[in-house]
Amino acid sequence: MTVIVTKPTKVALFDDGEYEAVITGIEEQNDVQTTYEVKNMVVLVFDAGGTEVRKRYSRSLHEKSDLYGLVKELVGEPGDSFDLDTLIGTLCRVFITHIETETGVQRYVNYVRKAEATQPDVVLPTVEDDANALETRGWDLHLANLRILRAGSKPQSESKRE
């Protein structure tokens, strides 16, 4: 018997488009060579429907920078400094596209915008929660609430979490 195997044409479990997401991490990248100069960067990690996607930003709050625009969109005017860790747990929407490169098809976060106004009832773990609590109860509840919202029901409250 002959078994023929082919390479996948896409890396994504979903098509190009806009998806609900939550910011799950921030990574620093120092001394990154860009087209014009060496810069310090940050990478925001998003969970979009169980698939991890990332977007890299220059670590600058200049009002014309993409990072400034993101912070302003998600939480409001950042001021002179801003703790990016406070973005962890923030609901948002990411627009994902796929780009063919020499190494294959790459997933790319084109832009990030604020979540729909109907989602603030979702219980998110706070930055004050310790890492163990986030892993054992907070994120599980958060992901369950996202599934409930997609189904059109009301999410669980904080009191039901304990």
pLDDT digits (tens, 9 = 90+) for 108-158: 888 899 987 654 444 444 444 444 444 444 455 555 555 545 555 444 444
Pair 34, 95 in one domain: yes
Residue 109 lies in a domain: yes
- Sheet-wide strand order for 38-48: 51-58, 38-48, 17-33, 91-101, 104-114
Residue 4 lies in a domain: no
List Cα–Cα distances, 23 to 54, 101, 113, 157, in angstroms. 9, 26, 12, 21
Quick one: pLDDT at residue 160?
A: 46
Pair 40, 56 in one domain: yes
Pair 132, 89 in one domain: no
* Separation CA 72–CA 88 (nearest Å): 15
Range of the structural domain that residue 67 is part of = 11-115
What pTM was estimated for this model as a whole?
0.63
